[in-house]
Structure 1
Amino acid sequence: MSVTSAAEQEQAPPPPPSTRSWSRAREDIVEGFKQRELWGHLGWQDIKQRYRRSVIGPLWITLSMAITAIGLGLLYSQLFDARIATFLPYITVGFIVWQFILGCLTEGTDTFIRNEGLIKHLPAPLTVYALRTVWRLTIMFAHNLLVYVVILAVFWGALTTTGYTITEGGAPQPGIGPGILLAIPAFVLLAINGGWVAILFGIISTRYRDIPPVITSLVNLLFFMTPIVWTTDILTSRFDNGGGQWKVLIAELNPLYHYVQLLRAPLIGNEQSWHHWVVVLGFTVVGWSLAFVAMRNYRSRVSYWV
């Protein structure tokens, strides 16, 4: 090798780093969590913009939830011959939790599509836009909790009675007690899952625009298959002709049931089964692993796909 060629090799710039890098994906996620002022501000602006020039503003979120929950609670309590004092809180809290999960699934698919302008002009980690979505949904969840507080105050006596049942002949429940504090880590776990849902589904949806309507159609079906306006007690007592408890698998094989029950159970004093935590934690690990892989492989392409 000549001296000239050796010198040229020494002066040649290093090859550009690969866009498919685990370190870049990790850096994007870490930096995204660190920029909480940015995604926190953007999330608040989303709420303000949605209810701009409205008389009661974000309270429309609470009012809409209250009307839906009370209306369906009164209807289904009569259909299932259940006590209003225990069945209405069950449906109300189920709806509140479901709205958060529904938002993570449906709005998560639009996370990067909706932020097209910012992605192309603002040099920020992609994780910021996913956290913006989760933070916005968290604010809406907090507004909906006002309905829960009112329901809790009205039916406090029934919900704190040891051994109360949601439906006639159902399993006795321990009632509201210190276990209500489990609702805090339960919601944190749901929000963490909302992060990977927004990242993974958001990336896939930027490439395949058919995904958002498909997700919307599926969640509409899953709503009726998830114990929200009905209970697992109904499967085992009203529609069980002595064939055992196998019908409960209809609910147990639905992952969304575990997410809903994880947070609903402590809020209304239901018996908290630890297998819900195991299932949700398992989905959390698998979900974030898939999101990390998606960030590693397709993070650099999102700005072109949107």
Structure 2
Amino acid sequence: MARFQRMTAVDAEASPPSESKTFKAAWSDLVRGFFQHELWLQLGWQDIKQRYRRSVLGPLWITIATGVMAIALGLLYSVLFKIPVAEFLPHVTVGLIMWNFISGAMKEGSDIFIDNEGLIKQLPSALSVHCYRLVWKQTLFLAHNMVIWVILMLVFPRNLGWQVLLAFPALGLLVLNGVWVSMFFGIVATRYRDVSPLLEALTQLLFYVTPIVWTTQTLHEQGGAVSSRAKIAELNPLYHYMEVVRAPLIGAPVHAYNWVVVICCTVAGLLLALVAMRQWRFRVSYWV
């Protein structure tokens, strides 16, 4: 009898009142978590300090590692594709910087609730706090890596013009997407633990099919069937995310349709995250 009562109590806790399974409640979690900024700002900064504890260079290792990778890939593929280094190296570098943010939000986002099991069970805060914490940490990494872009612009000067200002709203969209990506994949991967390793493999595949170390312009210039493959490559949404940020930063033409695709994907992603939160937000603490 006592065992039955305990099971009934657990079931009652696991079945929240019907008003919590609404889009209003899901949106309220996102808003409440955002206004708990003192918490996730401090936790995100603490994550970086803990990661580079007792290190002499500290977070500069992020910049060094990204810079070395960008130079190696830029020099190698500029020779293979016969593209001038001054033109290709900024393309690869900015692409890698943006990719580190995107892949970090996807891979670490899938484990965000599992890794914070203790805080979720003990700290009375909005679930979205942990997503904001991850995105804040990835934004700090991004800021460190942008030093490489500044150095490249000094070494290979470009006439950026006013369009460079478009990078700011583009980065804002990228950060906003980081929130819904970490929230959605975090919830799904907490329930289905096979999602995390699957997502890691998928992220690796996406790196190769996204124009980071290659360009669609090169494919267009070759013409024929190769040119048609470039159009197929543009079906990849990550291509458009790359372009809205990279084009203003390297002085390349900015196309309106890239922005349209990114904005549409952002709205669709936020709706998808809200649906996941509406259905399963209250169960995360039982799944971790």
The aligned amino acid for 2:131 is: A
Which of the numbers 208, 224, 232 marks the counterpart of 1:250?
232
TM-score normalized by structure 1? 0.86
The aligned amino acid for 1:145 is: M
Q: Can you give the 5+ residue segments of structure 1 that lack an aligned partner in the other structure?
A: 1-15, 161-175
The aligned amino acid for 2:164 is: I
The aligned amino acid for 2:175 is: A
Runs ≥4 in structure 1, deviation > 4 angstroms? none
Q: Deviations over 1:29-73 (max 9, x none)?
A: 110111111111110000000000001000000000010000111
1:44 equivalent in alignment to 2:45: yes
1:251 Cα shift?
1.7
Give the equivalent residue in structure 2 for 1:273: 255
Task: State the SS of the aligned residue for 1:123.
Answer: coil
Aligned pair in 2 of structure 1 residues 44, 244: CA closer, same or farther (>3 Å)? closer
Give the equivalent residue in structure 2 for 1:181: 165
Aligned equivalents of 1:34, 1:269: Cα separation in 2 = 36
1:257 Cα shift?
0.6
Aligned equivalents of 1:233, 1:58: Cα separation in 2 = 35
Aligned equivalents of 1:210, 1:229: Cα separation in 2 = 29
Task: State the SS of the aligned residue for 1:25.
Answer: helix
* Aligned positions of 1:14-163 closer than 5 A: 17-18=17-18, 19-156=20-157, 159-160=158-159
Give the equivalent residue in structure 1 for 2:203: 219
1:244 Cα shift?
8.3
The aligned amino acid for 2:32 is: E
How many correspondences in the alignment? 272
Structural RMSD (CA): 1.2
Q: Deviations over 1:120-164 (max 9, x none)?
A: 0000000100010100000000000011111111001xx32xxxx
Which of the numbers 202, 227, 236 marks the counterpart of 2:186?
202
The aligned amino acid for 2:213 is: V
Q: Deviations over 1:216-263 (max 9, x none)?
A: 11111111111111111221223x23x584222232111111111110
Aligned pair in 2 of structure 1 residues 92, 244: CA closer, same or farther (>3 Å)? closer
The aligned amino acid for 1:236 is: H
Aligned equivalents of 2:17, 2:220: Cα separation in 1 = 59
Aligned equivalents of 2:262, 2:233: Cα separation in 1 = 14
Aligned equivalents of 2:80, 2:226: Cα separation in 1 = 24
TM-score normalized by structure 2? 0.92
1:231 equivalent in alignment to 2:215: yes
Aligned equivalents of 1:89, 1:248: Cα separation in 2 = 20
Q: Deviations over 1:63-87 (max 9, x none)?
A: 0001000011111111111111111
Aligned equivalents of 2:70, 2:257: Cα separation in 1 = 27
Aligned equivalents of 1:87, 1:61: Cα separation in 2 = 22
The alignment-based identity, stated in percent, is 54
Aligned equivalents of 1:197, 1:81: Cα separation in 2 = 36
The aligned amino acid for 2:271 is: S
Point out the more displaced range, 245-254 or 210-219.
Answer: 245-254
Q: Can you give the 5+ residue segments of structure 2 that lack an aligned partner in the other structure?
A: 1-15
The aligned amino acid for 1:283 is: C
Aligned equivalents of 2:50, 2:81: Cα separation in 1 = 41
